């Protein structure tokens, strides 16, 4: 009993402790890590994350992996810098008993062990809005099962391929499972280029367009995008030093907990058995998400999101990433 109470106290105190003990360097700016292993269950049934920041912050998200040839290099760099990211993974890369699938599952296991968040990115990475219900269920549920087999818990974060989640049928299948959809405010467009310099230039242009930053979309399956990541972080650090020298707030590199707001404040995670944290005023400022109820009104959430899809970072038909 005593051990259980101590464990519960540790989980409740985790966000405060993380904020108090983040990595602080000589110029007094902080890069915060996010422990995905302890936060995972708390992303259940959240409002759609658009990805804009109310003040300077950046959350790195990587899609389409895991890829045993490229993702480990990114994990090495994240570990070296004591940073945490979110990986939205596709089921087809991990399914089966082949050598590639086994290696990819090992990569996902490593990402989870080192504290990164994991989200569902469907099985085949096809357009969900064109799928019938049986196909949608397979795409979501099979990937969820594969993730659970590797990391031991189900994911609650979801990113639709191409950021396309508009059809009521697709929306219903996502929200009815308690997923929190995640979009982005900045797009590296790394699939449009074939060099680290190109990815770097795209991200710098996005920061100029969105000075407060936000959720950044990249792909850990592209070697040039992985190669660009250290340069991007170095540039953020350079800018932070200049911000601090001018007495301005720096960028914080944050996890998706900064953007999470529960649809139902009193919802409880079935696997964790603890209350989903109530959104703080700062979180509501960060998410900039519409006010809505749970699955019964999920169509309205995505419908309003679609009206501002260019601003929110969605791709229009004809400009879909690979």
Between these two residues, 261 and 62, which has the higher pLDDT value? Answer: 62
Residue range 217-227, pLDDT digits in tens: 999 999 999 99
With b for 16 or more beta-carbon neighbours within 10 A and e for fewer, the 127-145 pattern comes to bbbebeeebbeebbebbbe
Instruction: Give the number of other Cβ atoms within 10 Å of residue 188's Cβ.
Output: 28
Q: 25-312 in CATH: which number?
A: 3.20.20.370
284 or 214: whose pLDDT is higher? Answer: 214
The 10s digit of each residue's pLDDT in 17-74 is 333 333 323 222 333 333 444 445 567 767 677 888 788 999 999 999 999 999 999 9
Residue 14 pLDDT exceeds 90: no
- Comparing 3-7, 38-42, 70-74, 237-241, which segment has the lowest mean pLDDT? 3-7
Mean pLDDT over all residues of the chain? 76
Residue 186 has pLDDT above 50, yes or no: yes
Catalytic residues: 63, 219
For residue 192, what pLDDT band results from cuts at 50, 70 and 90?
A: very high
* 225 token code pair: 């995008």
pLDDT at res. 28 = 27
Residue 152 near residue 37 (C-beta atoms within 8 A): no
pLDDT of residue 243 exceeding 70, the answer is yes
Ranges 137-141, 198-202, 297-301: which has the least confidence: 297-301
Tell me the pLDDT band of 273, cut-offs 50, 70 and 90: very low
Burial, 105: exposed, middle or buried (Cβ in 10 Å; 0-12, 13-18, 19+)?
Answer: buried
| Gap between the terminal Cα atoms of the chain | 51
- Does the pTM surpass 0.85? The reply is no
Rounded-to-integer distance, Cα 222 and Cα 218, Å: 9
Q: 44 or 280, which is more confident?
A: 44
Q: Which residue has the tokens 């040839």?
A: 69
pLDDT band at 266 (very low <50, low <70, confident <90, very high): low
Q: How confident is the model at residue 294 (pLDDT cuts 50, 70, 90)?
A: very low
- At residue 70, φ and ψ (nearest 5 deg) are -120, -40
Domain ranges of the chain: 25-312
pLDDT band at 282 (very low <50, low <70, confident <90, very high): very low
Q: Identify whether the C-beta of residue 95 lies closer than 8 Å to the C-beta of residue 71.
A: no
Residue 95 has pLDDT above 60, yes or no: yes
pLDDT of amino acid 265: 64
What integer pLDDT is reported at residue 24 of this predicted model? Answer: 27
**In the predicted model, is pLDDT for residue 84 greater than 60?**
yes
- Cβ atoms of 141 and 272 within 8 Å: the answer is no
pLDDT of residue 42: 60
**Structural contact between residues 220 and 71, judged by C-beta atoms closer than 8 angstroms:** yes
Query: What HEC string does the chain produce?
Result: CHHHHHHHHHHHHHHHHHHHCCEECCCCCEECCCCHHHHHHHHCCECCECCECCCCEEEEEEECCCCCCCHHHHHHHHHHCCCCCEEEECHHHCCCCCHHHHHHHHHHHHHHHCCCEEEECCCCCCCHHHCCHHHHHHHHHHHHHHHHHHHCCCCCEECCHHHCCCCHHHHHHHHCCCCEEECCCEECCHHHCCCHHHHHHHHHHHHHHCCCEEEEEEECCCHHHHHHHHHHHHHHHHHHHHHHHCCCCCCEECCHHHHCCECCCCCECCCCCCECCCCCHHHHHHHCCCCCCCHHHHHHHHHHHHHCHHHHCCCCCCCCCC
């Amino acid at each position: 009993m005593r051990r259980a109470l101590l464990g519960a106290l540790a989980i409740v105190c985790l966000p405060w402790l993380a904020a108090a003990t983040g990595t602080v360097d000589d110029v007094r700016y902080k890069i915060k890590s996010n422990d995905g292993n302890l936060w995972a269950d708390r992303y259940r049934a959240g409002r759609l994350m658009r990805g804009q920041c109310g003040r300077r912050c950046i959350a790195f998200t990587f899609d389409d992996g895991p890829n045993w040839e490229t993702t480990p290099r990114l994990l090495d760099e994240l570990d070296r810098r004591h940073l945490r990211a979110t990986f939205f993974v596709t089921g087809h890369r991990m399914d089966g008993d082949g050598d590639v699938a086994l290696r990819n599952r090992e990569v996902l296991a490593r990402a989870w062990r080192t504290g990164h968040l994991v989200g569902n990115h469907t099985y085949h990475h096809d357009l969900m809005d064109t799928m019938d219900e049986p196909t949608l269920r397979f795409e979501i549920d099979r990937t969820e099962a594969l993730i659970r087999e590797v990391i031991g818990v189900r994911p609650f974060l979801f990113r639709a391929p191409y950021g396309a989640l508009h059809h009521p049928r697709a929306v219903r299948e996502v929200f009815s499972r308690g997923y929190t959809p995640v979009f982005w405010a900045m797009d590296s467009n790394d699939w449009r280029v074939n060099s680290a310099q190109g990815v770097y230039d795209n991200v710098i242009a996005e920061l100029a367009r969105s000075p407060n930053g936000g959720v950044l979309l990249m792909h850990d399956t592209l070697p040039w995008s992985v190669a660009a990541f250290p340069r991007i972080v170095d540039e953020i650090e350079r800018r932070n030093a200049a911000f601090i020298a001018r007495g301005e707030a720096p960028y914080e590199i944050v996890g998706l907990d900064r953007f999470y707001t529960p649809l139902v404040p009193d919802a409880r995670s079935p696997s964790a058995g603890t209350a989903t944290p109530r959104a703080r005023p700062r979180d509501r400022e960060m998410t900039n998400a519409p006010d809505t109820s749970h699955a019964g009104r999920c169509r309205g959430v995505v419908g309003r999101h679609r009206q501002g899809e260019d601003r929110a970072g969605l791709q229009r038909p004809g400009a879909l990433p690979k």
